[in-house]
Structure 1
Amino acid sequence: MKVVAQGTFDILHPGHVHYLTDAADMGDELHVIIARRENVGHKEKPVLSNEQRRDVVAALDMVDHARIGHPTDIFAPIEDIDPDVIALGYDQHHDSAAIQAELDDRGIDCTVERASPREPQHEDELLSTGDIVDRILDRRC
């Protein structure tokens, strides 16, 4: 079974690793789509380049394939991969029902699942890129 996970993955952190591990456990082959910097509109644009974020994600053991998303159609790579499952992160902003409806409209036969949550393992652990950036700015500036 092929699984697709997607995200920005700007500064890789334990929350990302948990999400991708959960996604990999949903099937046999994990494909990860890296959001293009120019398409990110729901939060700050990524600091790192599209290629660097793809390369770091591709280096993770649980990831079989990593690619940069399509410039205009976020469903184009999904049509190309033809997955059995789309794994959404626990706290990703996506509407799973809307994604399922678009998949159905496009004739893509797969389900949409959510990864499990991950709580910090110690009080100093950060599970958000924004929180990491804020801490860097606080401590270094």
Structure 2
Amino acid sequence: MIRVVATGTFDILHPGHLWYLEQSAALGDELFVIVARDVNIRHKPKPVIPEQQRRAMVGALHPVSRAVLGDSSDMYRPIREIKPDIITLGCNQHFDVSRLRKTLQDQGIAAQVVRISEYTDSAFTSSRDIVREIIRRANQPDMQKPDNSWHNEGDHQ
């Protein structure tokens, strides 16, 4: 049985996340996903979605066998516990693959590292870009006033 590990923040789920997880799952029999802890995220803004909710959402996705939160002090602990055959990296994860392989070897983790290609069939494959677009649209004049026309006439709460 080939065990694969994927990692990430998974703040606002989008088609790029699903692509990454589907491609990762296709490499093995089980896909474990390690969801980054809020305290460990330093390379980008803190997530909007709380870590437990991010873990639950990722765990509910079809390709995922099990989703766990990362360790707040030792990022390699969950990997040592899961014992993967393959670790996948997303196209925008900023890891130097050769340095990661060396670190994994030093940690006693004998896993192959595979970089997953970018998903290009959607305009929104970045949580950061989605947030920017929400802000842009919220600042448009026609977005200032909510449209309640979908309510039925007798629907008054």
Smaller-chain TM-score bracket: over 0.9
Structure 2 Cα separation of the partners of residues 66 and 45 of structure 1: 20
Matches of 2:27 and 2:58, distance apart in 1: 18
Letter of the 1:127 partner, please give it: T
Q: Please show how residues 4-43 of structure 1 align to structure 2 within 5 Å.
A: 4-43=5-44
Correspondence for 2:46: 45
Unaligned residue ranges in structure 2 (runs of 5+):
140-157
* Aligned equivalent of 1:129, options 127, 130, 133: 127
Show CA shifts across 1:11-44 (max 9, x none).
0000000000010011100000000111101111
Query: What residue number does 2:136 align with?
Result: 138
Could you list the structure 1 runs, at least 4 aligned residues long, displaced by more than 2 angstroms after superposition. Answer: none
Calculate the TM-score normalised by the size of structure 2. 0.85
Give the CA deviation at 1:103. 1.0
Per the TM alignment, residue 8 of structure 1 is displaced from its structure 2 partner at its CA by 0.3
1 CA distance for matches of 2:134 and 2:119?
A: 22
Q: Does 1:113 align with 2:143?
A: no
Letter in 2 for 1:36: R
Q: Using the TM superposition, give the Cα deviation of residue 82 of structure 1 relative to its aligned residue in structure 2, in angstroms.
A: 0.4
The amino acid that maps onto 1:99 is L
Question: How far apart, CA to CA, are the structure 2 residues paired with 1:128 and 1:134?
Answer: 10
* Unaligned runs of at least 5 residues, structure 1: none
Shift of 1:120: 3.0
Aligned residue number for residue 67 of structure 2: 66
Percent identical among aligned pairs is 46
Q: CA RMSD in A?
A: 0.9
Residue 95 of structure 1 and its aligned partner are, at CA, apart by 1.4
**Secondary structure at 1:46's aligned position in 2?**
coil
SS at match of 1:79: helix
Give the structure-1-normalised TM-score: 0.95
